Amino acid sequence: MDDNNTVGRRRFVTGAMATVAGAATSPLWGTQGARAAAPSLVGAAAGRNVAIFGAGMGGLSAAHELAERGFQVTVYERKTLGGKSRSIPVPGTGAGGRQDLPGEHGFRFFPGFYQNLPDTMSRIPFGSGTVRDNLVAATLEVIAYKGKELRVPIPGDVGGVLTPEAIRDYLRTALTALTTVPILQIDFFLSKLITFVTSGPRRRLGQWENMAFSDFIKADIMSQEYRDLLVHMFTASLVAAQPDKANTRTMGLMFEALIFSGLGLGPYGPPDQVLNGPSSDVWITPWINHLTSMGVQFKVGWTATGLDYSGGRITGVRVTDPSGAAGTVTADHYVAAMPVERLQPLLTPALKSADPALARLGLLETDWMNGVMIYLKEPRPIAEGHLIYAATPWALTSISQAQFWSNDFAATYGDGRATDCLSLDLSDWNTPGILFGKTAKQCTRPQIVQEVLAQVRSALPGGAAMLPDSIVHSWFVDPAITGEGTAAVANEEPLLINTPSSWSNRPGATTRIPNLFLAADYVRNSINLATMEGGNEAGRMAANAIMDAARSSATRARLFELYLPREFDAIYDSDDIRYLLGLPNRFDLLSPYWPGRT
């Protein structure tokens, strides 16, 4: 943990930044470990009855923290418990006593820098242990690029004292060995990464939050290999964001966290972790059962249709139940844990006037990242971890599931003939493919699968022989996609994307309405990306704010933050001064062709 002087200095800087941003209660800057909960805007004593609308990551996390502390919690969910994190079995595919084939919104990825979510998982019983025991480490990342396979060992070590130069040199060795990007361009890219890693909190929020990532790394003037292997691969493939739309602060945080995790720094776990079974079986269902045992009530098929507002407070939430009957839910505290696109239509002019932050939700943007599962008659453990198909038009990534699962795939699922599942995320739905010349949105479901297979085969060495049609058993496309192949194509479960300056449009977990709280991944959080970790942290913040409102004496939910090395404290402070003086970060360069600097 930090010593008191270090923590004090960082808290001072954080406070100054938050004042500049007009968001003093928002997490902006990390410490090593946990931080105190943000102060609540409410002060009056209140009851302990909580109504949560939305049973995704934010809603379940808030329910968990509150139930552990004796609050009465009811969760209302219009669709299915678990949100985007749930499993989606393929209906009618089970035979001979087997379960239906397992589908997902997209494969699960638990990077080592997740801390809030694993902490919650460690408090969910599973067998003789906990759900956290169901996380297993992947040992190898693979990048498939135009028929070549680049194998990336996950663990690393700078081999001495941690300095910006040591990190740069380590990454330079790794990237030079793996890619065909010209060495001067690799050096420039690394100089930009180190620029971010050494940036102080003022520059991160004041400069990098407001700059597109493509401008930061000069994608437009570099080679195609640079754009394929160092830009699009880590933006569109991993976080469903186009580099010209995503802001530098968000992308920089992800790069930084991945680097520190890969180097084994701080409190982080193994860099790449996956579940040892379908998400609902080994995580979500045990979680629901545990919450139920603590008194949480779940009402599935209940849809929030309006918020009643009077006297400066929410007086009720209008709902329809599974039969379509209308009614009103009343509680002491209300948590909106639904996605931003679901909350916006419920916000009346009066609510937006009461809290302008709610009005700004309409300025946030979303994009698509959905799953495609291809079930195979023969196991294909192509990589012992996640596989990135660089330069594929649809920004594909995948993982071969069966190698990580603790059960016998064929004996457990389907008709007994499917032995593996190649689980893919399709992250770019707007670029024409190589088979039909259509975007994913323009393709029918069978065409989506054919196009995905064609792109995977083109990227893998010997791809056609590795994944012939003869071993394809069946397939599944996320049912959140509707109207595919028509002008009415839609996605019921899009993802928030962090466009430049979007932080100013994102609210905190508290609102100016004293009994309304927010718990979803668009809430300002430390990881600053639409992730399971971000949703979990938002749920914790909402729970803490409700405890403040209720004048609860219970210990607040712990809030973890991304790791930052204490060795860089002086560097951060120096860069803050440079930023205030209008000077660039000392590692930043004007020329894109700079081989290195000490």
Place of tokens 């180190």: 194
Instruction: For residue 107, give the nearest of 342, 387, 424, 356 by alpha carbon.
Output: 424
Instruction: For residue 104, give the nearest of 383, 414, 477 by alpha carbon.
Output: 477
Give the type of residue at 239: V
Residue 516's contacts (CB-CB under 8 Å, 6 or more residues apart) are: 307, 314, 334, 336
pLDDT confidence bin for 4, thresholds 50/70/90 = very low
Tens of pLDDT, residue by residue over 355-392, are 999 999 999 999 999 999 999 999 988 888 888 898 99
The answer, yes or no, to whether residue 2 has pLDDT greater than 70, is no
pLDDT confidence bin for 33, thresholds 50/70/90 = very low
**Rounded Cα gap, residues 32 and 77, in angstroms:** 35
Decide: 501 and 209 in contact? Cβ < 8 Å: yes
Instruction: For residue 75, give the nearest of 261, 338, 254 by alpha carbon.
Output: 338
Strands 49-53 and 333-336, sheet pairing: parallel
The answer, yes or no, to whether residue 597 has pLDDT greater than 50, is no
Tens of pLDDT, residue by residue over 529-570, are 889 999 999 999 999 999 999 999 999 999 999 999 999 999
Residue 48's contacts (CB-CB under 8 Å, 6 or more residues apart) are: 70, 71, 72, 332, 550, 552
pLDDT > 90: percent of the chain: 74
Instruction: For residue 425, give the nearest of 371, 374, 506, 348 by alpha carbon.
Output: 371
Q: What is the DSSP string of 202-247?
A: HHHHHTGGGSBHHHHTTGGGS-HHHIIIIIIHHHHHHHS--TTTSB
**Rounded Cα gap, residues 279 and 180, in angstroms:** 37
